[in-house]
Copies of this chain bind each other. A is one copy, B any other.
Amino acid sequence: MLIVQKFGGSSVADARRIKAVAGIIAETYRNDNSVVVVLSAQGDTTDDLIEKAAEINPNPSKREMDMLLATGEQQSIALCAMALESMGIPAVSMTGWQAGIQTTSAYGNSRIRSIKTERVLAELDRKRVVLVAGFQGTTTFFDITTLGRGGSDTTAVALAAAMHADLCQIYTDVEGVFTADPRAVPTAHKLDEITYDEMLELASMGAKVLHNRSVEMARKYSVKLEVLSSFTRKPGTIVKEKVKMEETKISGIAKDSDIARVALVGLEDTPGVAFKIFSLMAKNGVNVDIILQSIGRENSKDISFTVAKGDLATAEAALMEARETIGFNKLDVSSTLCKVSIVGAGMINSSGVASQMFEALYESSVNIHMISTSEIKVSVLIDDVNSDIAMKAIHRKFFGE
C-alpha cells in the first residue's frame, strides 16, 4: 500500500516525540508499505518565529514571513529523517519545493496549484521513506509560500490525491472522531467511520480534529482519511464517502463556545431590513452563523443572529452607527451562550431526530434560545452554563448510557 502519514506539531514537539513518531513510520514501512510522511513544525516553533519577527517589524511583508516560517517544518523533517536513519530505515527529507508543491502566490494563505510528484515517486522506488515539509510550497517564480491554517493537513491530503495513495493518516493528539467531546461527555465513544459531509459539519461546529479545507479536498479527490493518535496505538476513525449505516441516526455531538448573540428588537416589518443588516456585517468582515427572525408586535419584527465572540464589538459598533438607517428600538447582546449541534447523514431519512434532541433538552430543563437545521445537522443555542448537562443528556438519548 502507498500510505501518506501526517503528524502535527505536538506529535513532534521534542526529541522523544520525534523518536516515537519515527517508530510509527518504521512499523508502517516494515509492513511492506510505501510511506510518505508530512510533518508540521515542532511544538511552539511557529509561534516563536512569529514573535521574533514582531520584535523587528510589527507588520512584515507576507513573503518574508513565509520565508521565515517555512524553516520550522524543514527542521522537523530533517530531525525525523535522522531518527529513522538511526533505526536503520532509509529516509530522505524534502522541502515543499523539492517535493514539487506549486502554489498560488498568495503568501501566508496560498493554495496548492499542482504537485510534481516525480522526485517523491523516484525516492519511493528506491525504497526510502519520504518526509515532506508540510504547510509550504513555492510559486512558479520559486518563492516560498505557506498554506495558512490547517496547511500541513492540506499538504498530506494533496500529496495523497496526487499520488493516488491508498490511505492518508492524520495523526493527532486524540484517538479519532468522537460522538462528543470526551471531556464534556465521559460516555462519548470513538466512531469507526464517518462521512466527509458529517466530518465537515462537525469541524465547522467546533470539533477541531481536522481542518475543513483538508476534508473538502479529501472529498473532492476521494482520498480515504484516517484520524488517529500518535500517542496511543489504536485504530482511529476512517473518513470516506459512504459508511455502513449504523443503528444510531447521528454520528456526533459538538459544542462551540466561541459564539455571541446579537438581537435587534422592534425592526420595521418592511422588505430590505435583513439585507441592510447583513450587508453591513459583511462590509465589516463579521461572519454571521445562525439567523433567526421572529414577528414582534404591531407591524414590527425582531432579528437575532450569532457571531464569533471576537467580532461582537465590531458588530455592535457598526449596528449602533447605522441605527437610524436600519431602524430598531433596542440592541441586545449576549456572550454567555454556546451552540450544541448533532450531526449525522442518517438524519435525512428520519424526521424524529430533531425532536429527540429537543426532548433530551426538555428533560434536563435546558432552555433553547435559537434553533438552526440543515440536512445533516441540528444546532441549538443554549446558555453556556448548561452545556455539560445538555451534551450528556443528548448523548444519553442517542447513544444510551
Contact = CB atoms under 8 A, between A and B. Distances in A.
A301 interface: no
Contact of A82 (B56, B74, B92, B93): B56
A93 B74 contact: no
Nearest to A142: B98
Interface string A42-82: 00000001001101111111011101101100110111011
A56 B15 contact: yes
Number of copies: 2
Contacts of A19: 56
Nearest to A83: B56
A79 B86 contact: no
A79 B56 contact: yes
A18 interface: yes
Contact of A92 (B49, B63, B81, B97): B63
A68 to B, nearest CB: 4
A52 B17 CA distance: 13
A34 to B, nearest CB: 20
A75 B75 CA distance: 12
A289 interface: no
A78 B68 CA distance: 5
A263 B120 CA distance: 56
Contacts of A92: 63
A61 B85 contact: yes
Query: Top 5 A-B pairs ranked by shortest CB distance?
Result: A68-B78, A71-B71, A57-B82, A67-B78, A60-B82
